[in-house]
Structure 1
Amino acid sequence: MNTIKQFPYEQVLVLGLAKSGAAAARILLENGKKVRVNDFKKEEENQAAQELRHFGIEVITGGHPLSVLDDVEVVIKNPGIPYDNVIVKEAIHRNIPVITEIELAGLLTDGPIVGITGSNGKTTTTTLIYEMLRSSGEKAKLSGNIGTVASEVARDSDPDDILVMELSSFQLLGIQTFKANISVLLNIFEAHLDYHKTMSHYANAKAKIFENQTEDDYAVYNLDDERVVELADRTNARKVPFSVTRPCKDGVWFDGDTVYFKDEPIIKRNEIVLVGDHNFENILAAIAASRLMGATPEAIRNVLTTFQGVRHRMQFVREFENRTFYNDSKATNILATSSALNAFKQPIILLAGGLDRGNDFDELIPYLDNVKSMVLFGQTAEKIKNTANQAGIHDVKIVDNVEQAVQHAYAQSESGDVVLLSPACASWDQYRSFEERGDMFVRAVHKL
């Protein structure tokens, strides 16, 4: 078990629990730090808080009194807690550093880190890099926003383990010294503005993945995204571009037939089984990062000729009576759903809806040509229905939940149709997570 190195704080407030907060509190206690935990959820309903109190950690629940900051030297905040939270604002006012749990991960491992961020495609790219490294015989471990707490994985890692981390803007905004040996920035699109407030703040949060890199590191970036190119200019690392549209002999590129890493042919496009133009960009990024980290061309080809996607991200569920069902529950914004719709030439029945963040859905209209009907649910159902009507789609049904949506979509489907769950919205109005929403879809499909 690894110990924290170069962490100059003795008294720590962990603000917000969930998986990352609970993990950070336990790790800090193991390292001899004095830990206080503050979580808004009441302790009688808060199993994590009860367990931490059992370990001897000071636990304050049911609210956010400013006194939780007394004698505190640093705050480790749950990534989802915004910076206008009363405790976060007061900590900043008192000049107390506010960091996130991935900062601990960087202090717990001596092994290399591959960090992946972007508005869309993070999970697919992270998983591809992991699979390519594992297929090459490397000791890779998944961590970060993909579902496994980064600091826990780092604590239990060996020096030759490669930590492949999916990193959100929320996590990156709270780093001080964290550094990826290979950083990957996939794309920048409008997202999470309820949290970051402006597009500039959001882009700057993503760019922090480059912040501590040196000339001994690599920065993999999307040459086809102007915002990404601008942000990549900030790095001191060696830049490795990827492009679908133009040759880049110092990175990964596509000549219309074959994908190359520099001058080395890797795979022909028609051999890749993962569908979608957006996924093709993810694939190029994964080839760059994994090849730089030592993956072999043979291993990369092996993964790309077999990998069909991750759960909840353009996940093929089944074919039933010549209808094909895809679970894209992780499509929590308009861009992700647009990319999913663009992946198919067949008629689509689209299942969509969810949390209302105040935006409209007009940007979907250019991608609805193949959509023959929609089944909608959640807070945004009426908004998306209005968008559908503007696009000339009048076969629209509003239902209570995803299970009903599957039943209705199947009942109205025809041979050759794609039934696609791609909500274009977060899930929190009805479900605890996009995973729970996607799992309901999968179960409903298998019940048909």
Structure 2
Amino acid sequence: MSNVLVIGAARSGIAVSKLLNSKGYHVLLTDMKEIKEKEELILNGIEVFDGGHPDTLKELDYEFVVKNPGIPYRVEFIQFFLKKQIPIYTEIEIGYRFAPEFQYGAITGTDGKTTITTLLYEMLKKKGNALVAGNIGTPLSELVFEHGNEKRDVAIELSNFQLLGMSTFKPVVSTVSNLAPDHLDYMDSLEEYYISKMKIYENCDNNDYFIRNVDDENIMKYAKDIPCQIIDFSLKRKDVDLYIKDHYAYYKEIQLFDIDDLKIVGDFNCGNAMMASCMAYIMGVSLTDIQDVISFFKGVEHRIEYVATINNVRYYNDTKATNTHAACAALSAFHNNLILLCGGKDKHISFDDMKAFDHQIKHCFSFGQTKDKFKDIFTHQTSCETMQEAFENAVALAKPGDVILLSPACSSFDQFKNYEVRGEIYKQLVLDYAKKRSQE
């Protein structure tokens, strides 16, 4: 029986441990924190080491190691196994190996991943037997544990952290939505970050497809030696494979959908819908079903999500904008009279791109670690300690016709567990304020 070490016992670590255990591996699971499921895992034959990584784990031989994607490779415990040349994978790679009948539409990129993945999943559901997995929330190994012997279409969102730990994963169609600076607190360089995204197609062949965003100069620079069929996409050009003509989205000569049927705002979301529709078509979804989903899809939670209108002031939650590229996309979807709430964990990226929207920002209330870094970005700016303080200042300033937008341009980990928690707290602040006003 081969030993396998799983480092990190978040949902994905527990899922891959159970999967590997069911396939006859001797699984050792370790985490720096307490593992709540410890007793259950031990009863199933998994060795559990929580509260730290004991040195005794370094004394065994392993067929491979499975690492939580959020743990940087520079961590000493990970470096030990790298130096021993033991293969290190993420749970996506393991899940892929044990589900030969799964067909994948894979999405990565700096922004737009979740919207494309969710749209693709909704379209694949029309065809039947669809699953959604990856960075969007559900570990692939968890789904493989339940459905690994079945034929399934899978919409899968992949972070570059997950892609770094793959060696055989092969989607039938994939895309890199866009590339912009991000995760410089994890990666050694911006170039390394961009190159990691291109691993999404490295195992593909001529039976597979890659949608290449020709409008993105970084993608055109780094998307090289593509081993599969290329579908060139553009929102600006018509001499490509996936394009807009007369208010319709086309894949070659095939009319995918009417642009006017889109419910999600912003040109970037039109592009997201085009990529998802093309992927769905390649994976066998009918045009009627694609168009049906386009007509009712209202967006994903936490991405320019409409929350409420109070005294003719509209409130939007864009907590998923964890970098400047995503925040700029949100800002481009609005016009003037915009009150911006931003800030969070410092990922050592520049906010200069946001200066282009200074003319439409009525006021910026920034908070968290980066609160003072917006002083040179916006003419009208106030630094706050917390998001609640920023929200209260925004409410006091707002007049009828204004928009209050939470679009942080930063990750949440300085003050929140994750961006979802940040978004939920923001929405609750809005709803509590709405209730208070209704009682006055």
Q: Report the equivalent of 2:175.
A: 184
Corresponding position of 2:438:
none
Q: Distance in 2 between matches of 1:170 and 1:382?
A: 29
Displaced runs of 4 or more, over 6 A: none
Which of residues 413, 434, 441 is equivalent to 2:426? 441
Q: CA deviation at 1:256?
A: 5.5
State whether structure 2 residue 54 is matched by structure 1 residue 62.
Answer: no
Deviation at 1:235, TM superposition (A): 2.4
User: Cα RMSD over matched residues?
Assistant: 1.8
Partner in structure 1 of residue 402 of structure 2? 417
SS in 1 for 2:186: helix
Cα distance between partner residues in 2 of 1:265 and 1:345:
31
Q: Identify the residue that residue 344 of structure 1 maps to in structure 2.
A: 334
- Aligned with 1:221 (options 187, 193, 212): 212
Task: Show the counterpart of 1:31.
Answer: 23
Instruction: Identify if the C-alpha distance between structure 1 residues 417 and 236 changes in structure 2 by more than 3 Å, giving closer, same or farther.
Output: same
Does 1:17 pair with 2:9?
yes
1:386 deviates by 3.7
Question: Where does residue 325 of structure 2 map in the other structure?
Answer: 335
2:227 maps to 1:242: no
Is the contact made by 2:248 and 2:257 (CA closer than 8 Å) also made in structure 1?
yes
For residue 291 of structure 2, give the secondary structure of its aligned residue in structure 1.
helix
- The separation in 2 between residues aligned to 1:207 and 1:29, in whole angstroms, is 31
After superposition, the C-alpha distances for 1:56-82 in whole angstroms (9 at most, x for unaligned) are 322223333443132222110000111
Deviation at 1:132, TM superposition (A): 1.9
Q: Is the 8 A contact 1:17 1:48 kept in 2?
A: no
CA contact (8 A) 1:308 1:316 kept: no
The two structures have a TM-score, normalised by structure 1, of 0.91
**Residue type of the alignment partner of 1:223:** V
Contact 2:20 2:27 in 1 (8 A): yes
Per mean C-alpha deviation after superposition, the further-off stretch among 67-76 and 209-218 is: 67-76
Contact 2:183–2:347 (Cα < 8 Å) also in 1: no
Of 111, 123, 129, 2:120 maps to: 129
The structure 2 residue matched to 1:114, chosen from 102, 105, 108, is 105
Q: Distance in 2 between matches of 1:24 and 1:283?
A: 32
Q: Does 1:321 align with 2:311?
A: yes
Measure the CA separation in 2 of the matches of 1:276 and 1:25.
41
* Separation in 1, partners of 2:169, 2:127: 26
Q: How many residues align?
A: 430
> How has the CA–CA distance of structure 1 residues 60 and 155 changed in structure 2, closer, same or farther, with 3 Å as cutoff?
closer
> In structure 2, what residue type is equivalent to 1:438?
G
* Alignment-mate amino acid for residue 63 of structure 1: G
Report the more deviating stretch, 48-57 or 200-209: 48-57
| 1:372 counterpart (354, 362, 365) | 362
CA contact (8 A) 1:66 1:87 kept: no
Identity %: 37
2:27 partner SS: strand
Instruction: Report the TM-score when normalising by structure 2.
Output: 0.93
Structure 1 gap segments, 5+ residues each: 1-8
Distance 1:160 1:78, change over 3 A: same
Is 1:53 aligned with 2:20? no
Q: Which moved more, 1:145-154 or 1:433-442?
A: 145-154
Letter aligned with residue 6 of structure 2 = V
Distance (whole Å) between structure 2 residues aligned to residue 277 and residue 258 of structure 1: 13
Q: Structure 2: where are the runs of 5+ without partners? A: 434-440
Deviations 1:158-210 (A, max 9, x none): 63320110000000100111111111111111111221211221122111111
Distance in 1 between the 2:199 and 2:177 partners? Answer: 14
Distance 1:50 1:341 in 2: 48
Q: Are the equivalent residues in 1 in contact too, given 2:185–2:348 (CA < 8 A)?
A: no
1:86 aligned residue = 76
